[in-house]
Amino acid sequence: MKIGDHILVDGKSPATICYIGLVDGHPGQWIGIEWWHQEGKHNGTYNDKFYFQTKHQLTGSFIRQERIQYGNSFTQAICRQYVKSFSNENITDDINYSLFGKQYSDYVVDLSSIIRIDLSSQWVNEFDNNADIYNNLRQIKELNIRQNLLKNWSELWVILEKHFPQLEILNVSNSRMNFDKSSALNKYIHITQLVVIDTDNDCDVFENLCKHFPNLINIHLDLNRLSFISENFINQIQNLTNLSLSDNPTLKSWDPYVNRLGKLKYLEELILNNCGIEEIKFPQENQTIELFPSLKYLYMSDNNISSYTSINELTCLSSLISFSILRNPIYPLNQIECETAKQMILARLPNLTHLNRVFISRDERRGAEIDYLQRYAQEYFENKLDFLNEHKQYKKLIEKHGEPLKSNPNETSKKGLNIRSKLLKVIFELGDENERKIEKQIPPSTTIAKLKTLVRRLYSSQLTNDIQINLFVLIDQNHRELMSNDYQDIDFYLGNHCLSQTNDRPSIIRIETIT
């Protein structure tokens, strides 16, 4: 046991030994540790006396030696995970004796027949010298040693070089290996996917690490301590197609850090969930290089995006087809405001096929675009030039759907997520033999296009996308009016009678299919 060793406390909690010795006021020998994943009681200074220094605040503790375990060697981990004893008396429940759905009984697994080794949670602490094991693993294409107790990357370099010449996927997540720039000179050209989740590193380590993997196309750096993205890092990953940086809340800045990733011309998927990002902002239009030319999938849930200006910026991503933005201030939990936000985002991003990983139907897109046109109609008519500079998609939507209705300047302007305080009670009746009725409260500013989208959701099993519908407001037993203009608000058809009801009686809207 020595300072710097990686250990398990009580067989389950990883930590690093930082001190071995006496502690004032407490008899016997104590081990000072820094926890990897949980809070301690101090930072290495105890009762005003310095014993050691933790990397992070309140991650230090003192424990007794009897609580310490050291994990397994690589050979021990292989035996625990893949080898079953010849004697059934030695079978234990904590060993996984199955591989790819096949059950192995009463014999040693033929290691030379498998291409994926998964030693996650085996807490590998060393690569011992066992030729019988390694000689049967030269065909391995994926090595997963997630949750290991290895101390240095140099231990891994030797094994990769000698024993895994065909390795393509390497997972070393949930570890605390130290990186020495001078410890390896080789490049591992067959490895295309690197998973380095939760290793407590910033970009300076990753830019040096990636030098040894020149052909990476997929990297996972989630749950680290990324605070920046360097140009050197970008230069090492030019072939990348998929990058996940989720749960790095210290990253924060889209410009310049995320914009640097835009130089990766093959990048198709970028995952930035919970990165503390407040604003999406691209360089000015005189940028000579198109950023993110191949980006199809962008996931940004659990950030701090609060303005549609950020969504407008995304219109320059010509390949973007899937976008997620759940649990951002711009996408509130309130059902009505959430639906409005969804409509406003769809209308601004014309190539999206999926929003928040949900498919966007043709009618849903049409309703969103018309609602967007009408919502900003007054601003458009008042100041066309400045407005169109900000809303780059608006003019194209006018060409597609026609110019919106010009609203009365005395009416309340409809902007952003604002809705009128009074909601209209409406009963929907589907004109089939079942006469199914559903009651809802609808904002008066809802356009007929948006209303039709809502109706299709309410009656999704009956109203498939190939069925056309008309909506009628029932005036009395003998009269009804067709809601024919998709641009109009619902209160245009329901009229003052509905807005001034004193008996709180809901209006009735009848849904009829077009044959």
Q: State pLDDT tens for residues 403-443.
A: 887 766 555 444 333 333 468 889 998 876 567 788 888 88
Other beta carbons within 10 Å of 49: 10
**Comparison of pLDDT for 292 and 384, the residue scoring more:** 292
Tell me, what's the pLDDT at 282? 93
Tell me, what's the pLDDT at 407? 63
- For residue 59, pLDDT beyond 90: yes
Residue from 186, 194, 134, 145 nearest 169 by CA: 194
Burial class (CB in 10 A: 0-12, 13-18, 19+), 246: buried
Tell me, what's the pLDDT at 449? 86
Tell me, what's the pLDDT at 432? 62
Element (H, E) at 381: helix 377-382
Structure tokens at 160: 């990769």
Q: Which amino acid is at 140?
A: I
Cβ proximity of 472 and 513 under 8 Å: no
Residue from 91, 122, 123 nearest 105 by CA: 91
Tell me, what's the pLDDT at 301? 97
The pTM (predicted TM-score) of the whole model is 0.78
User: Per residue in 484-504, pLDDT tens?
Assistant: 888 888 888 886 445 444 456
Tell me, what's the pLDDT at 411? 52
Fold (topology level) of 424-514 = Ubiquitin-like (UB roll) (3.10.20)
| Domain locations along the chain | 5-69, 72-91+106-363, 424-514
How far are the Cα atoms of 227, 307, 338, 373, 421 from residue 353, in angstroms, in the given order? 32, 22, 18, 20, 33
Domain with residues 72-91+106-363, CATH architecture: Alpha-Beta Horseshoe (3.80)
Fold (topology level) of 5-69 = SH3 type barrels. (2.30.30)
Tell me, what's the pLDDT at 20? 96
Burial class (CB in 10 A: 0-12, 13-18, 19+), 294: middle
**Rg of the chain in Å (alpha carbons):** 31
Q: In angstroms, rounded to a whole number, what is the distance separating the alpha carbons of residues 122 and 146?
A: 8
Q: Sorting pLDDT into bands at 50, 70 and 90, what band is 361?
A: confident
- For residue 24, pLDDT beyond 60: yes
Mean pLDDT of 123-128: 94
- For residue 362, pLDDT beyond 60: yes
User: Per residue in 209-251, pLDDT tens?
Assistant: 999 999 999 999 999 999 999 999 999 999 999 999 999 999 9
Tell me, what's the pLDDT at 288? 67
Q: Give CA 43 to chain center in angstroms.
A: 32
User: Per residue in 331-360, pLDDT tens?
Assistant: 987 777 888 899 899 999 999 999 999 999
Up-side HSE of residue 390: CA atoms within 13 Å toward CB? 11
Tell me, what's the pLDDT at 286? 57
Q: In this prediction, what percent of the chain has a pLDDT beyond 90? A: 53
- For residue 108, pLDDT beyond 70: no
φ and ψ at residue 45, rounded to 5 degrees: -100, 120
Q: Sorting pLDDT into bands at 50, 70 and 90, what band is 457?
A: confident
- For residue 257, pLDDT beyond 60: yes
DSSP letters for 68-89: EE--EEHHHHHHHHHB--SSGG
Report angle CA 35, 66, 81 to the nearest 5 degrees. 75
Cβ proximity of 117 and 164 under 8 Å: no
Q: In angstroms, rounded to a whole number, what is the distance separating the alpha carbons of residues 168 and 154?
A: 19
Mean pLDDT of 364-385: 86
Q: How do 358-359 and 72-73 pair as beta strands? A: unpaired
Tell me, what's the pLDDT at 492? 82
Cβ proximity of 455 and 370 under 8 Å: no
- Can you list the positions of beta strands (E) in 36-187? 45-46, 49-50, 60-63, 68-69, 72-73, 98-99, 102-103, 116-118, 124-126, 142-144, 169-171
The chain-wide mean pLDDT, for the chain, equals: 86
Tell me, what's the pLDDT at 412? 46
Cβ proximity of 129 and 159 under 8 Å: no
Equal fold, 72-91+106-363 vs 424-514: no
**Comparison of pLDDT for 380 and 61, the residue scoring more:** 61
User: Per residue in 300-343, pLDDT tens?
Assistant: 999 999 999 999 999 999 999 999 999 999 998 777 788 889 98
Cβ proximity of 298 and 272 under 8 Å: yes
Cβ proximity of 197 and 221 under 8 Å: yes
Q: Give CA 347 to chain center in angstroms.
A: 22
> 395 Cβ partners below 8 Å, 6+ apart?
388
